[in-house]
Amino acid sequence: MLIDFVDREKDIPAILGIYGEYIDSSITFEYSLPSLEAMAERICAISSDYPYIVLRNDDGSVVGYAYAHRVFERSAYQFDAEATIYLSKSVSGKGYGRLLYEKLFPILEKMGIRNLYALVTEENGNSISFHEKMGFSRFARFENVGYKCSRWLSVVWLRKVISPFTHPAIPLIPFSSLPEAWCLSILRGDQE
């Protein structure tokens, strides 16, 4: 398996396919699968400011992905991000989620992200457990905030502090401003 940055042209159908494995579940709150064009727009918007990484099989096909994105709009929240991760069901439960997050976290830390959040449907115990094993802690529960699969669903917010709270705060470094060679060395495991 190889972890790489998303190819905004080639990887979109595979990412959409993985996301589609969950569209009829309570794991995502979307009712229908986005179009290829809509998913391309999302990936382009996210990956211009934040890391968007993919897990590739030996043949180069995408079997998982993880990314971060802005979680709140106001300027003072620039140090917070939300993490999202999806694995094809064919590779789920084999440690690849941990591998993706272990590559994502140092990049976010280098950008200056302090708080990383995960929003998980409460009944998705596997994801909550995974995030807790990755150092996230539950800190909020939003009761009955979504309706899907013929029932009201609650969401658990989890938080992980990934870099120190310095004073004064150093402004966030956009992902696109990080040295490409350094980012690639993180993905390849050349440095910690």
For the stretch 127-146, pLDDT in tens is 999 999 999 999 999 999 99
Q: What is the rounded distance in angstroms from the CA atom of residue 104 to the CA atom of residue 83?
A: 9
Considering the domain boundaries, does residue 146 fall inside one?
Answer: yes
Considering the domain boundaries, does residue 97 fall inside one?
Answer: yes
CA angle, residues 43, 33, 70, in degrees to nearest 5:
35
Percent pLDDT > 90 in the chain is 90
What pLDDT band is residue 167 in, cutting at 50, 70 and 90?
confident
With CA atoms as reference, report the closest residue to 191 among 65, 96, 103: 103
The number of folded domains in the chain is 1
Q: What is the rounded distance in angstroms from the CA atom of residue 24 to the CA atom of residue 88?
A: 14
Considering the domain boundaries, does residue 181 fall inside one?
Answer: no
What pLDDT is recorded for position 189?
84
Q: Does the structure show a pLDDT above 80 at 191? A: no
What is the per-residue DSSP string for 17-68? HHHHTTTTSSSS--SSPPPHHHHHHHHHHHHTTS-EEEEE-TTS-EEEEEEE
Considering the domain boundaries, does residue 182 fall inside one?
Answer: no
Give the domain extent around 52: 2-173
Report the sign of the C-alpha dihedral through residues 109, 115, 118, 119, in that order. Answer: negative
Whole-model pTM?
0.94
Considering the domain boundaries, does residue 188 fall inside one?
Answer: no
Percent pLDDT > 70 in the chain is 99
Considering the domain boundaries, does residue 166 fall inside one?
Answer: yes
What does pLDDT average to over the chain? 95
Pseudo-torsion of CA 109, 112, 114, 119, nearest 10°? -80
Q: Does the structure show a pLDDT above 80 at 52? A: yes
Secondary structure class of 16 (helix, strand, coil) = helix
The domain spanning residue 154 has which CATH number? 3.40.630.30
Q: Does the structure show a pLDDT above 90 at 147? A: yes
Considering the domain boundaries, does residue 187 fall inside one?
Answer: no
Considering the domain boundaries, does residue 155 fall inside one?
Answer: yes
Q: What is the rounded distance in angstroms from the CA atom of residue 160 to the CA atom of residue 14?
A: 29
Instruction: Write the CB contacts of 57 (distance below 8 Å, at least 6 apart in sequence).
Output: 1, 63
Q: Does the structure show a pLDDT above 90 at 108? A: yes
Contact 174, 111 (CB under 8 A): yes
